[in-house]
Chain A
């Protein structure tokens, strides 16, 4: 169970998203998950073993490391990616629920041959699906922003210092501690922060697009007659488009 399985789950939900949503998923998996797995893990791999303090006092290094790295960057990014991917499962669950209801209706009517097209069709983003999708976008934005802010607060910005001074017990006095590969870590931190911001911008654009679409749709329907609207709704439900 790891990233490929998560990708498989999300790709299923992707069918019902807008084109911006599909771009978001690609950015997420190429620039963030892959970079995390391939590069960042090896950069942060020896973070504790190569964290050296200028002391022979046993325990001082452990305590200073713990003080300056309450949560490692890698773990924060992993959690961020897991949480950010979860709202898409909301949409997948709603689609599954809709398909289940429609399947029951079709079976009652006796139209078994349409079941296959039901599974492959793409639902239009309107009504309850619109609200579910918009909620999932909001949650994504919240999680992204929250984790970025947490990283910023814990590490006082996105830069990794070369030297930190520590005087926690049992260190005998103020001790110099040196972090391993600070420049490389800074580069990767900035890279991940940038791709996170790009994803946030994509999500905001998608949300704006959805709202604009809903507004134009409601404006168009005000000019149509009520009967036409009901007919359109019934047609949408009966017609199955792949």
Chain B
């Protein structure tokens, strides 16, 4: 299984991810793929050879092994890793599509660009990225659930009893290396759970950032609108027109009661 090919494909995704996304990708490749390749695969390598049942009946061991292990953990994890890393390719495809569109636009409109930066998460790309996060978390969670259902909780007992045809009666069957397998199962389950948690954090971060930007823009627009309306309204005429002037006051003393402000040619007076 050539994981390095997948890794090459995905290293390009790093450019378009958030910081959380990059950490997620490193976690997946170091703690899950690397541990899977160098350690976990060896533990399960002699799975079927060293599965022993206390019987000499031919075929009984095979049938019991098949019943206890419908799908080996290793194969499930390989599928899980492939499914979980693929949604990132959606994002890359969208960016490539945008770049293609931009190139066509440049050719037609002689130099001006459609997208200032095709990799910036705006508009459709934001939704694609969010969707890829949802898929990643969804695939991880469903594989964890499938593993839970097939193996009745994350258990790997030393001894299983089996009484299927052609076994003559209830036969004791012994799994090879159950403790080591359990340790690696817990390790892979924990790292999957952490990856799901990181995906959720990233989703919250993306949505939160978008909401705060929208709120800021709306607040800004409201402020501009209010300022414009404020300037255009005609203020009430100065109170001195309705109030009788004290004839003993000089001109300078009169003007002390007013505060005059010149604003773009129009004189507005506030008291």
With contacts A1-B4, A6-B30, A79-B35 taken as known, whether A71 is within 8 angstroms of B174 at the C-beta atoms is: no
Bound: A67/B53 CA distance, A: 18
Minimum-distance CB pairs A-B, first 4: A59-B174, A1-B3, A62-B174, A70-B179
A74 CA / B174 CA spacing, docked (Å):
23
**Closest partner residue, chain B, to A83 (CB atom):** B31
Q: In the complex, are the beta carbons of A71 and B178 less than 8 A apart?
A: no
A115 to chain B, nearest CB (A): 15
* With known contacts A71-B183, A75-B43, A62–B50 Cβ distance under 8 A: yes
Q: How close is B149's CB to chain A, nearest CB, in angstroms?
A: 25
Instruction: Report chain B residues within 8 Å CB of A86.
Output: 30-31
Would you call A175 an interface residue if the criterion is a C-beta within 8 Å of the partner chain's C-beta atoms?
A: no
Tell me the smallest distance from the CB of A168 to a CB of chain B, in Å.
Answer: 9
Q: A69 touching B180 by the CB < 8 A rule?
A: yes
Instruction: Known A63-B158, A82-B34; judge A75-B180 contact (CB<8 A).
Output: yes
Given contacts A58-B54, A66-B179, A75-B39, contact A5 B31 (CB under 8 A): no
In the complex, which of the residues B19, B23, B39, B55 has the most CB atoms of chain A within 10 Å of its own CB atom?
B39
Output the nearest chain B residue to A92 by Cβ-Cβ distance.
B26
Residue A48 CB within 8 A of the other chain: yes
Minimum CB–CB distance for A103 against chain B, Å: 13
Can you report 6 residue pairs joining A to B where beta carbons are below 8 Å apart? Answer: A1-B37, A63-B174, A69-B177, A71-B179, A82-B34, A82-B38
Q: Is A19 an interface residue (CB 8 A)?
A: no
Q: A48 and B176 in contact (CB under 8 A), knowing A58-B54, A170-B54?
A: yes
Q: Per-position contact with B for A1-15: 1 when CB-CB < 8 Å, else 0? A: 111011001000000
CB <8 Å contact, A62 and B34: no
Q: Mark A47-64, 1 if CB is under 8 A from B, else 0.
A: 011000000011101110
B39 in complex: contacting residue of A9, A58, A78, CB < 8 Å: A78
Q: Give Cα distance in the complex from A33 to B67, angstroms.
A: 38
**CA of A84 to CA of B34, assembled, Å:** 13
A66 near B158 with CB under 8 A, answer yes
The answer on a CB contact under 8 Å between A6 and B42 is: no
* Residue B52 interfacial (CB < 8 Å): yes
Minimum C-beta distance from A44 to chain B (A): 9
A97 at the interface (CB under 8 A from B): yes
In the complex, the chain A residue whose C-beta lies closest to that of B6 is A1
Interface residues of A (CB under 8 A from B): 1-3, 5-6, 9, 48-49, 57-59, 61-63, 65-66, 69-72, 74-75, 78-79, 82, 85-86, 89, 93, 96-97, 170
Which positions 12-61 of chain B face chain A at CB distance < 8 Å?
Answer: 19, 22-23, 26, 29-31, 33-35, 37-39, 42-43, 46, 49-50, 52-55
Nearest A-chain residue to B187, judged by Cβ = A79
Beyond A1-B3, A59-B52, A59-B54, 12 additional pairs, beta carbon < 8 A: A2-B4, A6-B30, A48-B177, A58-B55, A62-B174, A66-B178, A71-B179, A75-B39, A78-B39, A89-B26, A93-B23, A96-B22
Tell me which residues across on chain A come within 8 A of B176, comparing CB atoms: 48, 62, 65-66
**CB pair B7 A71 closer than 8 Å:** no
Q: How far is the CA of A117 from the CA of B223 in the complex (A)?
A: 43
Main secondary structure of the interface of B (DSSP, over half): helix
Residues of A within 8 Å of B22, CB to CB, are 93, 96
A61 touches B52 (CB 8 A): yes
Assembly CA distance A79 to B30 (angstroms): 11
Complex: chain B residue closest to A74, CB-CB: B42
Tell me if B50 and A58 are in contact (CB < 8 A). Answer: no
A62 touches B7 (CB 8 A): no
The answer for the CA separation of A2 and B41 in the assembled complex, in Å, is 12
- Measured CB to CB, the closest approach of chain B to A86, in angstroms, equals 6
User: Would you call B175 an interface residue if the criterion is a C-beta within 8 Å of the partner chain's C-beta atoms?
Assistant: yes
Residues of A within 8 A of B55 (CB): 58
Instruction: Let me know if B172 is at the binding interface, CB within 8 A.
Output: yes
Q: Which residues of B contact A5 (CB under 8 A)?
A: 4, 7, 29, 34
Contacts of A1 in B (CB 8 A): 3-4, 6-7, 29, 33-34, 37
Q: Which of B175-218 contact A (CB under 8 A)?
A: 175-180, 183-184, 187
Alpha-carbon gap, A93 to B52, bound state (A): 48
Q: Assess whether B35 is in contact with A78, with CB atoms less than 8 Å apart.
A: yes
Residues of A within 8 A of B23 (CB): 93
A2 CA / B4 CA spacing, docked (Å): 8
Residues of chain B within 8 A (CB-CB) of A48 are 46, 50, 176-177
Contacting pair A89 B42 (CB below 8 A): no
Query: Could you tell me if A6 and B177 are in contact, using CB atoms closer than 8 angstroms?
Result: no
Bound Cα distance from A78 to B35, whole angstroms: 8
- Residue B76, interface by CB 8 Å: no
